[in-house]
């Protein structure tokens, strides 16, 4: 009898427990789906390079008809290459900048487009703040070249966005884009580029905060300028090295990786000298593949950090793996 009673009590207890659990697990109220957010998180990504901290910052993306902009190829070939890479047209190009904290200097490489190219770009200043920095903290700004998407973020409403920074760029770049004579003989589209460069640079020139250099030059310990002329007359890359680790910020060596890496001979209409730009691209790609250093690309898919691998007669982009371990 005691056994039967014990068994009965156990059965009742089990029924109560599982019955209650089933009641909790099956709510009778339906909830509507949450609204779509439709925005990404603030566009920055941080990594260590030796003792240096590198922060990639997205200025935004812009849809461009690259099948009409790329040269030394055909529109059909461009569309085929993009299709193979699952990229639609117009192509959504990334616009990146890179912040390097050496421990003693805070160096920003390129500044995004500011207000020069519409509302889809010009996000760098806000994303710099989201990354934990204020514009007033930037010590030096290195410009790869003076096209609007690289220099426009320097100024806003005629004032310096980075009031304490010294701006540095190749003297040949400044001589070309800040020349009134060159502007007057330029095409209508080029005139806009000249006007943008002058508007961006003028507040720094007036404050005596522009310090040009020429060619390959060490700018601060661990960062040196490397001449990559061709895309523009003073187009410059920046080589960053710390504790045996190396990164090259290559500016506009590549605009559309899905097309130009498999076929480095493809150029773009924005090149000042497309033949020289092509040779520079081929040389740098070969060197990056041979020596395995990191590339930081202004127009590579954000965060624009990765390696170059040789594949057949062309190359392949190998992005850095995401990491939160430093």
Decide if pLDDT at 68 tops 60.
yes
- H or E stretch covering 290: helix 274-291
Decide if pLDDT at 47 tops 70.
yes
Give the mean pLDDT of the chain. Answer: 92
**What local confidence, expressed as pLDDT, does residue 42 receive?**
83
Q: What tokens appear for 200 in the block?
A: 């961006």
Confidence band for 28, pLDDT divided at 50, 70 and 90: low
Angle at 209 (CA atoms; ends 206, 210), nearest 5 degrees:
95
**What local confidence, expressed as pLDDT, does residue 189 receive?**
83
Pair type for strands 267-268 and 245-249:
unpaired
* 234 or 324, greater pLDDT: 234
Condensed to tens digits (0 to 9), the pLDDT of residues 121-170 reads: 999 999 999 999 999 999 999 999 999 999 999 999 999 999 999 999 99
Condensed to tens digits (0 to 9), the pLDDT of residues 85-119 reads: 999 999 999 999 999 999 999 999 999 999 999 99
Length of the chain as a residue count: 326
Distance between CA 19 and CA 13 in Å, rounded? 10
Q: How many CB atoms lie within 10 A of CB 155?
A: 22
Confidence band for 255, pLDDT divided at 50, 70 and 90: very high
Q: Mean pLDDT across the stretch 217-229? A: 98
Task: Please give the share of the chain, as a percent, with pLDDT higher than 70.
Answer: 90
**What local confidence, expressed as pLDDT, does residue 23 receive?**
44
Q: What is the pTM of this model?
A: 0.89
Distance between CA 199 and CA 152 in Å, rounded? 8
Please give the torsion angle defined by the CA atoms of residues 71, 216, 166 and 249, in that order, rounded to the nearest 10 degrees: 50
Condensed to tens digits (0 to 9), the pLDDT of residues 270-297 reads: 999 999 999 999 999 999 999 999 999 9
Distance between CA 223 and CA 117 in Å, rounded? 29
**Strand pairing partners for 293?**
none
**What local confidence, expressed as pLDDT, does residue 11 receive?**
42
Confidence band for 181, pLDDT divided at 50, 70 and 90: very high
Q: How many CB atoms lie within 10 A of CB 321?
A: 6
Angle at 86 (CA atoms; ends 318, 110), nearest 5 degrees:
55
**What local confidence, expressed as pLDDT, does residue 10 receive?**
45
Q: What's domain 44-319's superfamily in CATH?
A: Ribonuclease Z/Hydroxyacylglutathione hydrolase-like (3.60.15.10)
3-class secondary-structure state, position 138 = coil
Place of tokens 């050496």: 102
Confirm if 299 and 256 have CB atoms less than 8 A apart.
Answer: yes
Decide if pLDDT at 325 tops 80.
no
Q: Mean pLDDT across the stretch 246-255? A: 98
């Amino acid at each position: 009898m005691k056994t039967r009673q014990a068994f009965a009590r156990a059965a009742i207890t089990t029924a109560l427990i599982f019955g209650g659990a089933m009641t909790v697990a099956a709510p009778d109220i339906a909830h509507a789906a949450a609204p779509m957010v439709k925005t990404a998180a603030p566009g920055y990504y941080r990594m260590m390079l030796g003792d240096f901290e590198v922060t990639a910052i997205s200025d935004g993306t812009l849809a461009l008809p690259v099948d009409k902009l790329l040269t030394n190829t055909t529109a059909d070939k461009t569309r085929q290459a993009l299709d193979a890479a699952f990229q639609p047209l117009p192509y959504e190009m990334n616009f990146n900048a890179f912040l390097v904290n050496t421990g003693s200097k805070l160096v920003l490489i390129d500044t995004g487009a500011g207000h020069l190219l519409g509302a889809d770009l010009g996000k760098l200043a806000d994303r710099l703040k989201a990354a934990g920095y204020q514009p007033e903290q930037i010590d030096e700004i290195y410009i790869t070249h003076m096209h609007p998407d690289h220099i426009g973020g320097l100024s806003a409403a005629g004032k310096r966005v980075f009031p304490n920074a010294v701006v540095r760029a190749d003297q040949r770049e400044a001589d070309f884009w800040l020349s009134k004579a060159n502007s007057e003989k330029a095409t209508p589209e080029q005139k806009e580029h000249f006007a943008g460069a002058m508007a961006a640079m003028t507040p720094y020139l007036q404050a005596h905060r522009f310090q040009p250099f020429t060619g390959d030059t060490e700018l601060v310990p661990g960062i040196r300028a490397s001449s990559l002329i061709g895309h523009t007359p003073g187009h410059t890359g920046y080589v960053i090295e710390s504790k045996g680790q190396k990164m090259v910020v290559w500016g506009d060596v590549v605009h559309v990786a899905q097309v130009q890496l498999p076929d480095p001979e493809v150029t773009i209409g924005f090149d000042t000298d497309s033949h020289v730009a092509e040779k520079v691209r081929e040389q740098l790609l070969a060197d990056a593949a041979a020596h395995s250093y990191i590339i930081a690309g202004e127009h590579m898919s954000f965060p624009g950090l990765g390696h170059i691998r040789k594949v057949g007669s062309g190359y392949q982009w190998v992005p850095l793996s995401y990491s939160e371990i430093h």
